Each structure stands twice: as C-alpha cells, then as structure tokens.
Amino acid sequence: MAANKTVETDVSVCDFLDTAEPPHRRTEGHALAELMARVTGEPPRMWGPSIVGFGRYTYEYASGRSGEWCRLGFSPRKAKLVLYLPGVVSGKVPGLADLGKHSTGKGCLYLARLDHADPAVLERLVAGSWAHMAAEHP
C-alpha cells in the first residue's frame, strides 16, 4: 500500500504563513493559527506543504489503509481560506448558518475573507469540531 502523501513535517508554520499570497492571507493565517491554538491547546504544525494542523489522530479504513491526520486545520490558499473542521460541514457541529459569508465543499469550509465570518461563531465552530473529533477519535 502506498504511503500517505500528506504527513506532518518540521517546516516552520510562521515561515509558511509569512509567504502566503496574497499578502492579506498572511495576517489571516496568523490570526487563524492563534485562534485554533488557543481553542485546542495544541501548537500549529505543518502537514504537507500547505496545511496548518492541530492535534493528530489515527484512522483506519475498512480496506485496511490507515494513517495519521491532524484533528483540524486550515490552508491559506490564494483564492480562499480552506478550513478543515470535521463535523461542521456535515451538520454534526451546529452553528454554520450563523457564521456569515462562506461556502462549503466535501468536508471543507471556505472563506473568501476572514473578516466575512463572525469571530465568535468561528471560535464556537472550531471548539465544536475539536470536541467532535475528541468524541469520534478519543
């Protein structure tokens, strides 16, 4: 079985965020990293070349494939911020409707601008996702 491509690295999160483009993604990335670190109590770590993750868990599929992944995280992509908040998009963590301007994809929450989101609601969603992951993967 092939090894997972996206794994935790020793790359500096600050160095990565300081090079995000466009420039406003740098400020947003640092703000998200601070928020998620405060809520989770975990330091930010790089997963692969572009995901800032918090915590870790081990998963195993019915096929036998297994690996480790961050419990939650984000990536400051050029077009949008991508937030990986398990349970939020699926509705297992309530409150998404109150967030503000956003879009969703398969398991991902997208924000064109961080200031389009209600900060208190975003913090509750991060905390809810963290609790969801603790319950699903103790």
Q: What is the pLDDT of residues 5-30, one digit of tens each?
A: 888 999 999 999 999 999 999 999 99
Domain membership of residue 85 (yes or no) is: yes
Domain membership of residue 41 (yes or no) is: yes
Q: Which domain holds residue 47?
A: 23-136
Domain membership of residue 79 (yes or no) is: yes
pLDDT per residue over 61-113, tens digit each?
888 888 899 999 999 999 999 999 999 999 999 999 999 999 999 889 999 99
Domain membership of residue 69 (yes or no) is: yes
Quick check: helix, strand or coil at residue 18?
coil
Q: Which value, in Å, is the radius of gyration of the alpha carbons in the chain?
A: 15
Calpha distance 63→70 (Å, rounded): 21
Q: Which residue has the tokens 């949008």?
A: 80
Number of structural domains found in the chain = 1
Domain membership of residue 7 (yes or no) is: no
